[in-house]
Amino acid sequence: MKSIILSSASVALASPSFSAWMAAEGKTYATREELVLRRAIYAANVAKIEKHNAEAAQGLHTWTQGVNKFTDLMPAEFTARMTGGYRAKEKRSKNVNLTLLHASALPDSVDWTTKGAVTPIKDQGQCGSCWAFSTTGSTESAVFLATGTLPSLSEQQLVDCSGAEGNQGCNGGLMDYGFQYIIDNNGIGSEASYPYTAADGTCKKVASVATIKSFTDVPSGSDTALMTAIAQQPVSIAVEADQASFQSYVSGVMTAACGSNLDHGVLAVGYGTDAGQDYYKVKNSWGTSWGDKGYIRLGRGAKFGANGQCGILMDPSYPTA
Residues identified as active-site: 130, 264, 284
Question: Which residues, 6 or more positions from 65, have their beta carbon under 8 angstroms from its beta carbon?
Answer: 48, 49, 52, 53, 245, 248, 249, 250
Q: What share of the chain is helix, strand, coil (3-state, %, to 5)?
A: 35, 20, 45
CA-CA-CA-CA dihedral for 138, 141, 146, 152, to nearest 10: 100
DSSP element (H, E) containing 5: strand 3-6
Q: Which residues contact 148 (CB under 8 A, 6 or more apart)?
A: none
Q: Which residues pair with 216 in a beta bridge?
A: 318
Alpha carbon 81 to chain centroid, angstroms: 15
Sequence-distant contacts of 44-48: CB under 8 A, at least 24 apart: 45/71, 45/72, 45/73, 45/247, 45/248, 46/15, 46/71, 48/244, 48/248
Q: DSSP letter string over 242-304?
A: -SHHHHTEEEEEE-S-------EEEEEEEEEEETTEEEEEEE-SB-TTSTBTTEEEEE-SGGG
Return the beta strands (E) in 22-115 as ranges. Answer: 63-65, 110-111
| Helix pair angle (32-57, 18-25), 10° resolution | 100
Say how far apart CA 300 and CA 234 lie, in whole Å: 16
The Cα 207–Cα 100 span in angstroms is 37
